[in-house]
Structure 1
């Protein structure tokens, strides 16, 4: 574990808990033995800490340690995701909208943060918007004057988006200036990931067709790993998140600016 040891002063349990959660934002897994060394406490103390955090649904205990609270093969429905971290998503979308110029051709991945971006772009003109999100296309059709290209394919029930070989084949024939993608999970070590194989394929296709790829990812997704990786940090041009990420993660992201432009709003 790269984190330096804490000062000699014994920490309160709440202080240890906060540091443990910060560590989980940086690493996909933490080990009891590493935590014992880091905090200079017994394994029993660390196990009690992890048990307490798990009971509050802030992490998941594993044999010998803990991982972020992320069910790898499960994705909430769009209606469920819409109510989570709404203010963060709106701030991220507001900044993303400033990157879109009149005359741009942009791709919007399916998701709740990209839906917030679509609401803002509906007030703009002279845009061509490509999306596999049925709800985004419907909203723009009713509220905007942009040219909207809805990608066909297999409709994912509960997600309101199209996937599959028809979708990826259609995307492969197109080119856009900017692609805005969501992510269910992000790890500095493992990159960007999502629970669904077919949705990951669509995301990869959008990356390939875009001159610039921008990922919109709120801080609750940091330090997590989902089932399918769709991009490494080197395949993404810019990452936009909120200011609730831990200072350690922010510092690590700052060191990667040569490879990945990073903005916290």
Structure 2
């Protein structure tokens, strides 16, 4: 009898890991409700799973190792769903007008906008991406402003508190964001940390907020919301999304653009 609690705990740990792996990331509250146990117990379980190298703990919950692997290198992510990303980039570029001051987020999807901006007159692009600055510098005649900071190798982006503070002087006509996922419930989401804080600051300084999310990331929740659904002006995704998602989007003010 004395060994039963340990058996039950291991069964719960396996079930928790399976749930995290299937969803990519899960909040502590969701786990406590699913397994009918306390937040304290779930946090203890997550510490154990992280200690064993089975998941990655994050603020408010946990992330699967598989989800994190999708963010390992810029070059790997750039080739994933390449055609779909190109379609989104072309659609997004149609929203850019002459004389705009825009922000383009460091993302392999938003980077696909660059070839389509070469003929936009008097355009100013602010970015935190080395890759996007390079692509625009070789294909377009726009003014390019690169935010400073520490380069993150996985994304070729610059993210730190110093960079975030430098956004104070900017006001953007439009801001184009990538992200880890989008869901009707959570909005545009990304990995926890300074990246989310910085994106929120940019969104607050933008008249129009636009998210580019390929269909593989639709209805994929995350731990941290960048822009809630109610505050997002446009969502650009691929036409092969589920009909149930299209129906849910009709209840929002967000304009859905299918590529």
Taking the aligned partners of 2:66 and 2:162, their CA distance within structure 1 comes to 28
Structure 1 gaps of 5+ residues are: 1-23, 30-67
Question: Unaligned regions of 5+ residues in structure 2, if any?
Answer: 1-21, 28-62
Is the Cα contact below 8 Å between 1:178 and 1:211 reproduced in 2? yes
- Tell me whether 121-130 or 173-182 shows the greater mean CA deviation: 121-130
The match for 2:19 is: none
Which residue, out of 247, 256, 259, partners 1:262?
256
TM-score (norm 1): 0.70
Aligned to 2:93: 97
Match of 1:141 in 2: 137
After TM superposition, give the deviation of residue 122 of structure 1 in Å: 2.9
2:250 pairs with 1:228: no
Spell out, residue by residue over 1:144-195, the C-alpha distance to the aligned partner (whole angstroms, 9 max, x if none). 2111010001211121000111111111221110000011111211222112
1:78 to 74, 81, 85: 74
CA offsets 1:15-67 (integer angstroms, 9 cap, x no match): xxxxxxxxx99xx89xxxxxxxxxxxxxxxxxxxxxxxxxxxxxxxxxxxxxx
Higher relative contact order (CA 8 A, sep 6+): 1
- Conserved? CA contact 1:72–1:227, under 8 Å: no
- 2:146: which partner in 1? 150
Equivalent in the alignment of 2:209:
213
| Runs (4+) off by over 3 Å | 68-74
SS at match of 2:145: strand
Query: Taking structure 2 as the reference length, what is the TM-score of the superposition?
Result: 0.72
When the two structures are aligned, how many residues end up with a matched partner? Answer: 202
The CA distance in 2 between the partners of 1:261 and 1:81, in whole Å, is 27
Partners of 1:71 and 1:226 within 8 A in 2: no
CA distance in 1, matches of 2:95, 2:202: 18
